[in-house]
Amino acid sequence: MKKANMISSARKSATSNPLTIYDFHDILEKLVKEKKLKSSQIWNCDESGFPNDPQKCKIVGIKGKTAYKVTCGAGRENTTTLAVCDDAARRVWDPLIVFAGKNL
C-alpha cells in the first residue's frame, strides 16, 4: 500500500488522451526539421521539488524511538532540483539546485 500522489485535473485531462501526446511528437519533429536543430541543441530535464515545511517531510528513524527534526523558518517554500538534464548527443549536466531568491 502507498499513498496516492495528487494530480491536477487539468494535467490529467491533458495527458489522458493519447492523440494529444502523438500531436506533440509530430509538432516536435516538424520543429526540429524546420529549425535544423542538432542533437546537442535538444535537451531533456526532469525537476523535483522538496518542501521545506517540516509538516510535509518524512524522516527515517529507529523504530520505537521518538525522532525530531530541527528546522529554522516557517517554510512554505520548496527547494527545486534539476536531477537529470541531458541532451540528445548524450551530454549530461551535473544536478542543479535552485533555492528561493529575493531578486532577479
The sign one gets for the Cα dihedral 61, 67, 71, 77 is positive
Say what the pLDDT of residue 69 is.
Answer: 57
Domain positions in the chain are: 7-37, 43-104
Tens-place pLDDT, residues 60-96: 777 777 766 555 445 567 788 888 889 888 899 898 8
When pLDDT is averaged across residues 33-42 and rounded to a whole number, the result is 93
Q: Per residue in 41-67, is it b (16+ CB within 10 Å) or e — as a string?
A: eeeeeeeeeeebeeeeeeeeeeeeeee
**Angle, in degrees to the nearest 10, between helices 9-16 and 18-35:** 80
